[in-house]
Amino acid sequence: MYAALLARKYLTTKAIPLLAALAVTLSVATELIVWSVMGGFLTTLVNEGRRTDGDLRITWEHVGFAHYQDLADRLEAHPAIAHATPLIETLGLLGLPDRRMVSVQLLGIDPDSYARATSYHDWLYWRPIATPHRQDPLGEDPRLAPEAAPILEAWLAEGRRLRTLDGEPAMVVGIAATGWNRRMPGNWYMPQFATQLLPDGRILPVGDFLPRLSLRLTVLPLGEPGTSALDLRTLDFPVANELYTGNYAVDARQAVLPLETLQRLLLMAPARQVAPDASPFDFEIGPDGAQRPVAPAIVGDTPARATDVLVRAAPGVSTTALLEACRSVYADFARAHRHEVPAPELISIMTYEQRNAMFIGAVQKETTLVLFIFGVVSLTSIFLVLAIFWAMVSEKTRDIGVLRAIGASGTGVAAVWVGYGLAIGLVGSALGAALAALVVSNINPIHDWLGKAMGVQVWDPNVYYFTTIPTDLDAFKFTVIVVGGILASVIGALVPALRAALMDPVQALRFD
């Protein structure tokens, strides 16, 4: 009982222990903030990557494989798989009205099945909104304007269908891909008028922003043998809407087209096969007596192809279970279409983590290294507690002698200082956890305020992928760091506690 009473008395009557508590507070807060931000970046990277890129991809690059819809149907019939959607992924060049060329990652998708497997509908940026962003107090976001609602609704519908209201195939482009939208501090976009370069060198404002324009797309078919630069295909597409996923790497370089449209551009659409010995120089006399080319003999049909099937796991299914399920389904699919599709041992069946293992592994190692460094730095709190308690034991030598004289054991005296260290650890760790929670919960407003005050943008989405600082506040991190802070304080108090326990009572009472 006296150990707890003395520890409480020392804690509430002495100012110097506050330095030890402050050291623990700062150590705990620093480690929690670093772990929450870096761990949040890694967690968001994987989760958002899965949301945009799928939990798993079955891929046969460039050439593509046939009967993809049968594979998607077989996959969706498996209980471990929620959705599967075919797509084509390739590179393209967008020609802008100002004569700039922008390289994009081009996706050919079926809008309905792609929206079931991803959050595609949520990514369409231009739509009416009723409430301004918290960092848009003046309500400048053009999506708020009531008079803009009809055209925004039309763009939203066109983006969902990837077709204009007239039924013409349309394109959806990443909102940061063209440079015609200015990102505001609240992570909403203000459209900027596009410009056109005239032959005489003058710049002419187009007078509109992207979703009302058409862009020229150039692709190179890679699915046919013998393709060359002369096989480039170029076509103009109206822009239906723009994508905003929150991942800058996607928003700055992705464009989406209807699957069947991209198949035609890349020579991956269904086609008739003619006899290999057919000659375009053979002629015959028709029923009307006129000469005409001999029609080549049709020997079969070439089915449409896709380069990927994107797979979304059913809720609660692990990555390992999903991978095994997809391998099993594809093996059955390959047997059913023997010699028509790639063999199971050749085709790429990889989870998101496997496809991005190098980058994810680098982030994991960097997170571990930074945490280790900050952990070593935080060990200074142990030595600070030790130094402060050592000085206090020296100051309280007579008190220790009195305790021993009235019957307190060495263990009991040591318990006073260990309890004191425990109290310092509890108080410091609790304050550090509260400070970390406050900072992490408001890290984006704090970042914006620092940017305005200092004119420095610490978190650049061009470098860090995401337009906002991701965080991951969870009980496990808090428990580990808080317990570590408490143990550090107790460990720092052990040596002074041992010194106090081993003091000779007579010499302690004579101490002046």
Q: pLDDT per residue over 122-169, tens digit each?
A: 999 999 988 887 777 777 888 888 888 898 999 999 999 999 888 899
For residue 455, name the pLDDT band (cuts at 50, 70, 90). Answer: low
The percentage of residues in the chain with a pLDDT greater than 70, rounded to a whole number, is 75
Two tokens, residue 384: 């600070």
Per mean pLDDT, which range of 239-248, 342-351, 369-378 is the poorest?
369-378
Higher pLDDT: 211 or 350? It is 350
Tens digit of each residue's pLDDT (9 = 90 or more) over 198-250: 566 666 665 566 677 788 999 988 655 544 445 778 888 999 999 998 888 88
Quick check: 511 pLDDT over 60? Answer: no
Higher pLDDT: 255 or 444? It is 255
Strands 233-243 and 171-174 come out as parallel
At residue 463, the pLDDT reads 56
Mean pLDDT of the chain: 80
Name, of 190-199, 411-420, 429-438, 486-495, the range with top average pLDDT: 429-438
At residue 226, the pLDDT reads 45
CA 183 to CA 206: how far, in whole Å? 20
Two tokens, residue 275: 């006899």
Smallest CA-to-CA distance from 118 within 66, 183, 49 is with: 49
Tens digit of each residue's pLDDT (9 = 90 or more) over 19-74: 778 888 888 888 888 888 888 878 877 888 888 888 999 999 888 999 999 999 99
Global model pTM greater than 0.85: no
Higher pLDDT: 242 or 96? It is 242
Per mean pLDDT, which range of 105-114, 351-360, 385-394, 476-485 is the poorest?
385-394
Contact 222, 232 (CB under 8 A): no
CA 64 to CA 268: how far, in whole Å? 8
Cα-flanking dihedrals φ and ψ of residue 169, to 5°? -55, 140
Read out DSSP for 287-328?
Answer: TTS-EEEPPPPEEEEEPPEESEEEEEEPTT--HHHHHHHHHH
Tens digit of each residue's pLDDT (9 = 90 or more) over 407-432: 566 676 677 778 778 888 888 888 98
At residue 132, the pLDDT reads 82
- Give the helix/strand (H/E) hosting 438: helix 410-441
At residue 401, the pLDDT reads 65
At residue 296, the pLDDT reads 64
At residue 326, the pLDDT reads 95
Q: How far is CA 27 from the centre of its chain?
A: 28
At residue 178, the pLDDT reads 83
Quick check: 186 pLDDT over 70? Answer: no
The percentage of residues in the chain with a pLDDT greater than 90, rounded to a whole number, is 29
Higher pLDDT: 470 or 292? It is 470
